[in-house]
Amino acid sequence: MSLKETAISVRQNGKRIWRGKCPSDPTLLADVLRKRAPTAKRVVFETGPLSVWFYHVLTAEGLPAICIDARHAKAALDMAPSKTDANDADGLAQLAEAGFYREVRVKQYDSMLTRTLVAARCQRLKSMTELANQIRGLMKIFGLVVPKGAGRVFETNVRRLLAGNSGLERIVLPLLEAWRSLRVRAAELDRQLVATARESASCQLLMSIPGIGAVTSASFTAAIEDPENFRTSRSVGAWLGLTTRRYQSGEVDYDGHISRRGDKHLRGLLYEAATVILTRSRADSALRSWGLKLREKIGFKRAAVAVARKLAVIMHTMLKTGTLFDRAARTTA
């Protein structure tokens, strides 16, 4: 699926019976499939930017839509002699016919709205940081070093240093106004996110953990959706890429770095929360004590990863049982 066209391949009884293209609109795609494959058993497509939209519209149209992991499909699609959209569609159709695929859980629109809100907020903060660094760099060229500080302190320092330098003011002040506008918009998104967390019972439950705030709780709830999506809480850590990768071949057998699979942003938030628990939190808990002992044995970074993985397990258990965080609960590796 591209933004303009979607390649289609229809197979039956081991043979391709039709191949073509249509505009990348799930409603138009549904019309083509009803015409070319009226008794379709599986409609398989890969994960991508359009997959959520396609999945929900095709499902609403009554078609058996199945979204599969693009990484798993890649191994089979690479067997084609040429990399074309038509060949990829044929490969996906063969996987669908053989049943050789792993279905991916597609998130609901409500969860995607929360994820979009968090992503928009993070992008605003990133843009603010980049613009502030650019302002500092431009002023440093002329010997105007902006002292440390954020928010209003940063703006006040910049305006104070620019006073009397009309030439540099004409260049820097427009950038400062853009930075100020980004700051206002980021604050608005912050308020929306806090309001969303306050209205969610799941977020309120997770925020009983020291170090877990509105952003982390909302992101985790949106990613997990239903706790029943995972059979065991331990599998959440692996799903987020917080477990070590193992390589075994003959006499070679070793554990490497964490897999870093899954939601990169949520993994970073959990690592940040683990860092807060190990360094800044004053609330005593069995989790913090376990993490501090682990830090003495294996170092801070590896201990923080272990605490982040344990946080994911604990948070899923809390959502599943509906219980508040128990600071005295015993924690194991």
Q: What are the beta bridge partners of residue 135? A: none
In this predicted structure, what is the pLDDT of residue 70? Answer: 86
Burial (Cβ within 10 Å: 0-12, 13-18, ≥19) of residue 179? buried
What three-state secondary structure class fits 65?
strand
Q: Phi/psi at 245 (nearest 5 deg)?
A: -85, 140
In this predicted structure, what is the pLDDT of residue 31? Answer: 94
Domain ranges for the chain? 5-98, 109-199, 203-321
pLDDT in tens, 281-299: 888 889 999 999 999 999 9
In this predicted structure, what is the pLDDT of residue 330? Answer: 63
In this predicted structure, what is the pLDDT of residue 1? Answer: 85
Q: Which of 106, 121, 281, 117 is nearest to 187 (CA)?
A: 121
In this predicted structure, what is the pLDDT of residue 252? Answer: 75
- pLDDT < 70 positions in the chain: 330-333
In this predicted structure, what is the pLDDT of residue 176? Answer: 94
Instruction: Please tell me whether the overall predicted TM-score, pTM, comes out greater than 0.85 for this model.
Output: no
Task: Check if the beta carbon of residue 23 is closer than 8 Å to that of residue 3.
Answer: no
Spatial neighbors of 42 by CB under 8 A, at least 6 apart, are: 64, 66, 96, 97
